[in-house]
Amino acid sequence: MTPDKFSPPWWARSPHIQTILPVLTKEQSPKVTRERLELADGDFIDLDWCGQASNGKPVLVLIHGLEGSSESHYARRMLNQCHLKGLTAVVHHHRSCSGLPNRLARSYHSGDTEDLGHTLTQIRTRLPDSPIWACGYSLGGNIVTKYLGETGSDSLIDRAVVVSAPLQLGACAERLKAGFSRVYQNYLIRQLQAKTLEKVNHPQLGKQMPLDESKVRELTTFHQFDDAVTAPLHGFKGVQDYYQRASGMPFLAKIQVPTLVLHAGDDPFMTSDVIPPPNGLAPNVEYELQPLGGHVGFINGGLPWRPRYYLEPRILYFLTGES
């Protein structure tokens, strides 16, 4: 039995309702167990596990978006569904996103596939016979796309879903400068500024930061932040080099494992530039473009104070074949 088609109710046809209401109506999440992975460069990654991993049984890796975590609304809902279905899931936190600052001046970015690769290697080593599935949301979806394209047939991910991914970073950065989308940009930039200021004012890390406190406060767009902070801290020549090399779009044609890519045409974080051309998809990639849905929204019914979603049934049906 396939999941219900996506048909948002009358009260959730606005992209901003779709994007904001899920944040305001978060579910309680099941109990998770935290694990810390130490990295070779002296930093760390935190994983939040839900369910008991067992060799031979699938593991679903969730990769959150910009400044997200296992507390994000979409992660909570998916963890709940996995808990109900007896499926082991684990949230891979980007550096600095698990509630504690990371140890280095560098942090994470939209094309950072090495940290995800480290997590996947650890899972594969411990559970050699377990299928590894992945679901990446927003920035996390771009990372998953790039990882799958880079690794091809050597991917440690066996099946994947990519939700609301900014596959053309430059175009999305421009989109977030305009109209109501600036509200989302301002909200996220304030979080990035706060983390950056902590490092600028840190006794040791401050010496490695490429800017001072006054400059941090002047960074009010993603384009400015990525040029002044993200690019220099992560080895890019500048913002354009970062956007070009980190965007997931060119990697869609190189994916060798079954992958579902899901976008909403009204996503306030995106433009039509994120829609891949027909010849830009590998045979294993299924592309689904819904006209409505906002950014990681896809409310499909229920009531405003208790919405029902399209995402979890759709994702799990693609991964498991079961509704």
Show which residues are catalytic. Answer: 138, 267, 295
Q: How far apart are CA 100 and CA 155, in angstroms?
A: 30
Burial 24-61 (b: 16+ CB within 10 A, else e): eeeeebeebeeeebeeeeebbbbbbbbbeeeeeebbbb
Query: In whole angstroms, how far apart are CA 130 and each of 59, 104, 122, 125?
Result: 7, 33, 12, 10
Q: How far apart are CA 138 and CA 248, in angstroms?
A: 11
For the CA atoms of the chain, what is the radius of gyration?
A: 19
- Of 35, 63, 38, whose CA–CA distance to 49 is shortest? 35
Q: How far apart are CA 163 and CA 206, in angstroms?
A: 35
Q: How far apart are CA 167 and CA 244, in angstroms?
A: 10
